[in-house]
């Protein structure tokens, strides 16, 4: 795959979400606008099934609309989710081989359901390359982010930081516990720190990019 970019927004104490019923807005309007513009540069947008269920993101891009991609073992994605709607090519739902039949039955004709042998980042990338997808914009949630970040399978990381704490209301951290390629001895390259509205945005490059 030519390029994989990861984009996430977090609180000052590293949370992606809170424990409320409503969607938590972390990004500023300026940050949202830049993300919409960036999405159009990629063939597909990848988002976790739990994020679809909880936040129902539109995943809208300015201009060309990339394919929307998710992965699920259950197929428990609301049929009215915006993931299945909008312009552009049909959405893609990846499912492990042993759950493929159940997921396809539950999703029906809403999306292209694709069986995969491996649910790790490399397995996901291989399946998408088989569909002609050569660039990917990964947006979370925590499990999806951890999958790609732990394997070091990305070119760029864009991290937006909102200027507030969630504390005990924090629900999901930026990444889950695990072993990561980029530790204190193998650091990402910080390209820029920018202000977009009332958010700080860090642009980082993976100089060990496994895609090279």
Q: How many residues appear in the chain?
A: 212
Distance separating alpha carbons of residues 12 and 163, to the nearest angstrom: 6
Q: Which domains does the chain have, with CATH numbers?
A: 3-205 (3.40.430.10)
Q: Is 191 left (phi over 0), alpha (psi -120 to 50) or beta?
A: alpha
Q: State the pTM of this model.
A: 0.95
Determine contact, residues 142/172, Cβ cutoff 8 Å. Answer: yes
Tell me what percent of the residues of the chain surpass a pLDDT of 70.
98
Nearest to 149 by CA among 127, 124, 182: 182
Average pLDDT over residues 182-210: 94
Compute how many other C-beta atoms are within 10 angstroms of the C-beta atom of residue 188: 18
Beta strands in the chain (DSSP E): 3-10, 15-18, 44-46, 67-71, 92-96, 112-116, 135-138, 156-161, 170-173, 189-196, 199-205
β partners of residue 10: 161
- The tally of CA atoms less than 13 A away on the side-chain side of residue 20 is 9
Strands 156-161 and 199-205: antiparallel
Q: Residue 178 class from Cβ within 10 Å (0-12 exposed, 13-18 middle, 19+ buried)?
A: exposed
pLDDT at 198: 97
pLDDT at 212: 59
pLDDT at 186: 94
pLDDT at 210: 64
pLDDT at 208: 87
């Amino acid at each position: 795959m030519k390029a994989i970019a990861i984009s996430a927004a977090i609180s000052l104490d590293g949370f992606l979400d809170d424990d409320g019923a409503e969607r938590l807005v972390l990004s500023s309007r300026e940050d949202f606008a830049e993300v919409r513009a960036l999405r159009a540069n990629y063939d597909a947008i990848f988002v976790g099934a739990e994020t679809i269920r909880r936040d129902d993101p539109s995943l809208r891009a300015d201009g060309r609309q990339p394919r929307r991609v998710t992965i699920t073992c259950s197929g428990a994605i609301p049929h009215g989710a915006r993931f299945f709607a909008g312009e552009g090519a049909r959405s893609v739902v990846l499912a492990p081989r042993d759950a493929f039949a159940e997921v396809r039955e539950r999703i029906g004709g809403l999306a292209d359901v694709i069986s995969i042998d491996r649910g790790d980042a490399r397995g996901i990338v291989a399946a998408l390359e088989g569909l002609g997808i050569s660039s990917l914009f990964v947006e979370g949630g925590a499990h999806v982010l951890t999958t790609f970040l732990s394997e070091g399978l990305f070119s760029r990381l864009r991290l937006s930081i909102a200027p507030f704490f969630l504390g005990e209301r924090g629900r999901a951290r930026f990444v889950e516990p695990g072993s990561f390629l980029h530790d204190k001895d193998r650091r990402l390259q910080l390209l820029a720190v920018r202000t977009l509205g009332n958010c700080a945005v860090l642009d980082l490059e993976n100089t060990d990019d496994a895609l090279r």
